Amino acid sequence: MAKKKEPKKTAPAQNAYIAGSGEVVEEKITDTLEKNYMPYAMSVIVSRALPEIDGFKPSHRKLLYTMYKMGLLTGNKTKSANIVGQTMKLNPHGDAAIYETMVRMARGNEALLHPYVDSKGNFGKAYSRDMAYAASRYTEAKLAPICAELFHDIDKDTVDFVPNYDNETVEPTLLPASFPSILCNSNMGIAVSMASNVCSFNLEEICEAAIGLIKNPDYNLFSVLKGPDFPGGGFMIYDEPELEKIYRTGRGSIKVRSKYNYDPQAHCIEITEIPPTTTIEQIKDKIVDLAKSGKVREISYIRDESDLNGLKIAIDVKKGTDPDALMKRLFKLTPLQDAFSCNFNILVGGYPKVMGVYEILTEWTAFRKECVKRRVHYDLTKKKEKLHLLLGLKKILLDVDKAIKIVRETEDDNEVVPNLMIGFGIDEIQAEYVAEIKLRHLNKEYIINRLAETDQLQKDIAEMEEILGNDRKILDIIVSELKEVIKKYGQPRKTQFCYVDDEEDDSPEDDTPDYPVHLFISKEGYFKKITPQSLRMSGEQKLKDGDVMESAFEATNRTELLFFTDKCQVYKSRASEFSDTKASALGDYVPVKLEFEPDENVVAMHPTTDYSGFMFLVFENGKCAKVPMNVFETKTNRKKLTKAFSDKSRLVRIFFIPDNADIMLTSTKGRAVIFNTALVLPKTTRDTIGVQCMTLKAGALVENAYIIPEEKLSEMTKYVMKSIPATGCLAKDITDPDQLTL
């Protein structure tokens, strides 16, 4: 009998409504995603989140163009609320979103190296999280002078215009910026499945770089473009290989360090410039946390002294503190030194593309070249039209009396133009122009001026036609415009360079004070760190009712602590993170101190300084695991390790063994077995299930486990097994197993 063919598996289906039919049919979810989600994703990518080659996202462009049409390039400032309202004709978003866009472009916010909006009032600060901007009804704005370069000849068909969302007006698809604005101001956006993060460069340097590439495609940008220039200043740690990577690929990371000075009289460090990726509040919070945890002890007070004069964070330090050494540590421990991740993802021709600085400048040159061509073509068309009219006038001026006679003898007004066309052999457009000339203009001076203008127009037209036919001349125009921009708007660098020694240790210097301590952990999870002197002077250990002391260790204040929990996790901490206490105190409750999960408790604690030795785990099912300590070591400062040990069976005991030891297991059926841990091979996987060490009878479980001291081993030879797994012997004669523990 033939085997029945199984139906082909398809994507899950969902109900879909067919418009106009009143029917609901099943539709594949993949089809729904393709019809509904993909258009949304593409819209976010090409019409919202990513900047285009002119340097703007649609929201920026719509706002600036609205201000341009309002006459705010040369006029007086107007209320921001008025600008926001007018922008809604192009941007169908709420007033809050539009105003926030304007705030970021404003001079007062200090987010851009070259602000596009000249502002008046409180526009907040980009370097402060809490310094909020005022409402739009209180602030005023107009376009900054540099915007003249963004709208350079925009009315001469330099860029395409499209209808706005309700077809009431038109807006430009791009702005014909006469300088590479895409690289002169930072821009960040998150789209669907992709993002963009463009840093700013010095205007003069980037224009010189564009000129260099126009003249020589193999031009080395490092000769003029030293690196990014951030609006907040600071020091960029110079890394030429990383910069080369950014210039070539558009991806890379730039480290920026804060600028500071020290006042020895007041013992105060003043920070005046910070990286662009952080805020005053983030820096303060981190420094306060370091001071509270004892990692930085030289700081006595920190405050924000930012005012109308600019940013300032004041850090009061204790007498005798080396400010440079302190700042060196703070650079490593706080956002006072931070990294800017570059991702130059830009829309070109409607498609996102990650490009380096070389390629971006090449694409911008091609874009600008097209703008100049269109402008020249527009001017050429206008001049040809004017020349055409003047050539018609020239024919009339050769015999003005004849023209006057034709006009006087024409009875019907509608026949004036046709009669002039017949009388002088000119076309309708020329005849219309001649017919509209005032009688007072038919003098000798007017005639001479018009004839001279004709000669000039012919020269201009010949020159423009030559430009359109020669790309080199168009590039010369672009170069001359870039030089003019440098002359008008160039400014000194704000971000300076810092050259750090390559051999400088990247790991933060550990300044934690080191001294001997005694560590205690109770069964309920209370931890105490007591100095030897305090312990000698103390009496009995204070514990909660029913609680007992589980373990005690001699260690130092820099010792790292591993807390194993009943949810198969390890929480890592340091002895220095706990306060010194006395035996008469309850101590710190570890689940609260280390923010355990609900109902999670400590089962064991182990201190270590070098992660040597092994952790030996005994499970209820008779299996044991020997795991090297170094598997719990992490290069990063992770505070929690999940899957720290196996959850296949309940953990009975966990021991630290420096090398090997003799372990005794006892079962609920009254049996015991002793074996050396050398019989158990170490496993480098933390959550290994281990190997069977005790063979259990039906219904039996491992009840407890102990480390047997060498002096006790001779008394228990009948339980010692040379191989595992083993069933063991009846252990009725072992009266007090707790006496066997160390």
Structure tokens at 608: 């270590």
Sign of the CA dihedral 231, 237, 241, 245? negative
Burial of 219 by CB count in 10 Å (0-12 exposed, 13-18 middle, 19+ buried)?
middle
Residues in Cβ contact with 608 at an 8 Å cutoff, skipping those fewer than 6 apart: 559, 560, 562, 629
Using an 8 Å Cβ cutoff, are 280 and 313 in contact? yes
Best CA proximity match to 226, nearest among 243, 212, 241, 210 = 243
Order of strands across the sheet with 602-608?
602-608, 560-565, 570-574, 640-641
Q: Cα(184)–Cα(168) distance, rounded to whole angstroms?
A: 33
Buried b (16+ CB within 10 A) or exposed e, 302-333: bebebeeeebebbbbbeeebebeebbebbbeb
Using an 8 Å Cβ cutoff, are 612 and 644 in contact? no
Q: Cα(171)–Cα(720) distance, rounded to whole angstroms?
A: 90
Which residue's structure tokens are 């979810």? 29
Which residue's structure tokens are 């009219």? 389
E strands of 431-583, at which residues? 496-498, 516-522, 526-530, 549-556, 560-565, 570-574
Which one from 138, 165, 301, 515 is the annotated catalytic residue?
138
Using an 8 Å Cβ cutoff, are 290 and 313 in contact? no
Which residue's structure tokens are 């097209």? 370
Which residue's structure tokens are 């900047």? 51
Q: How many CB atoms lie within 10 A of CB 296?
A: 20
Catalytic residue at 138? yes
C-alpha 316: how far from its chain's center? Answer: 31
Which residue's structure tokens are 């415009």? 481
Best CA proximity match to 63, nearest among 40, 46, 88, 39 = 88
Strands 588-589, 526-530: pairing kind: antiparallel
Considering just the CA atoms, what is the radius of gyration of the chain in Å? 40
Order of strands across the sheet with 195-198?
187-190, 195-198, 337-343, 251-257, 235-237, 496-498
**3-class DSSP string for 165-193:** CCCCCEEECCCCCCCCHHHHCCEEEECCC
Q: Cα(336)–Cα(282) distance, rounded to whole angstroms?
A: 9
DSSP H or E segment with residue 456: helix 444-468
* Length of the chain measured in residues: 742
Order of strands across the sheet with 671-676?
702-708, 662-667, 671-676, 729-730
Q: Return phi, psi of residue 154, to 5°.
A: -65, -25
Q: Cα(447)–Cα(454) distance, rounded to whole angstroms?
A: 11
| Collapsed DSSP state (helix, strand, coil) of residue 458 | helix
Using an 8 Å Cβ cutoff, are 486 and 207 in contact? yes
Structure tokens at 408: 């006087």
Bridge partners, 313 (sequence order): 271, 304
| Collapsed DSSP state (helix, strand, coil) of residue 721 | coil
Using an 8 Å Cβ cutoff, are 733 and 718 in contact? no
Structure tokens at 445: 């001076």
Catalytic residues: 138
